[in-house]
Every structure is written in structure tokens, then in C-alpha cells.
Structure 1
Amino acid sequence: MTAISTMGDTAQNPLARLPHLPFAPALPKPKAAPAHIVFNQSRTGYIAYRKGTPLAWLVLGYHQGQLNKQRKLVKFVDVAYHRQNTHGISMETAFFDTLPEAMQFIRTTFSNGGVQ
């Protein structure tokens, strides 16, 4: 009985004649540095982006009212962002007195991949 070999000198495909080497394990992919977060001003505040994808919305708010029959103006910053959890994605909010505090919260929350 004659067997036709697909390997060695009788192989029709020239690549099949090459010696077979075991595959080397894949090298670990280098971890990319976290992309820089960019804050672009919008009509109502700022939008935080990473690689062109919006991460969070910072809305500059105020409330004008009275306290002890005196006019009172209260300024604040509302932050809204998506947070992925085991059941899905939720919209989360946070409240800050100043814009720099809100921006630092976003930088900290989304550092090293952070909340997504």
C-alpha cells in the first residue's frame, strides 16, 4: 500500500516542505500609558474625553435664592459619568463646589482605565 505524504519532498505546497518549529509563546503586549483626558468647553460646562470618547459631563450650576431673608447665590458643579458594573452600565453623578475639584475627580476616577 502506498501512502501519499503531504510533508517532505513530495509535498505539493512549498511551505509544507519547511521544517516545522514549535510556536513561541506570545510576548506580552506592552501596556500603553493611559490616554490623557481632555476637557472641552461646552455650552453648559465641560465634556471630558479620552481618545475622542466622552467620559463625563461637567455641568456648571447655580441656585439663586434667599437665606435669612438675604439674597444668596450658590454655585456648584454636577458631574455625570457612566459606570460599568456586573449587571450593566449605570449613569452616576457627583456634586462638587468647584470646577477644579470636579476635574480632579474625573482624572482620579478614570486613571489607569478606571470606571468605564
Structure 2
Amino acid sequence: MSTQPASGEPVAPEVTKEQLIADFKTVVADAEALLKATANQGGDAVASIRARAEASLARAKAQMADAEAALVARAKAAAKATDAYVHENPWKSIGISAGLGLLIGFLMGRR
């Protein structure tokens, strides 16, 4: 069952950056395993394809590391901002937390 917005286009499922990074790591590991498995195959065409694949894999790994570092930095910044907000507005934070707790409890109780 897919939901559709008013425009009639299907809505893609939401994918988090963490899921994308994990999936990309899996693809990279599979590609490395494939390259190792074909290491004994001969021929100039196979050798050039392997060289290009290894170069692409190295670039992809570097980009993945950069993306992961950026994600960690943004998560730390968000945590610091949240910490500062809670320290500046303790009662408001307690009220929001209590409201969310009640809402979650209400939703769980309906099951």
C-alpha cells in the first residue's frame, strides 16, 4: 500500500543517511570481494576493467568517509544545540518531554 500526495505521484519511502551509508558499505565490501575473486582471471580487458573498478572503489570509499565524517559532525552539533536549549529552558524541556511521553503512552495503550 503506497501513499500518494495530492499530485498523484507515489511517495518514496524515507531513507536515512545512516541507512544509505550502511548500504553503501555493503556494496563496497561486495565489490571488493568480487575483485578478489576475479584476480586470477587473465586477459588485458579484464585487467583494465579491474583497474578501473579498483580506482572507482577507492574514490567511493573516500567519498563515503567524507560523508560519514560530515554526518557525525552534524550529529554532534545537533546534540550540542539540544544540550544548550535544555540548559537554557529546563522547564519547557521537561514539559515537552512529558507531553511526548504521554502521547507515546497513549498510542501504545491503543494497541
Same fold, judged at TM 0.5 (above): no
Structure possessing the higher relative contact order (Cα contacts under 8 Å, 6 or more residues apart): 2
TM-score interval, normalised by the smaller of the two chains: under 0.3
**TM-score, reference length from structure 1:** 0.19
**TM-score, reference length from structure 2:** 0.19
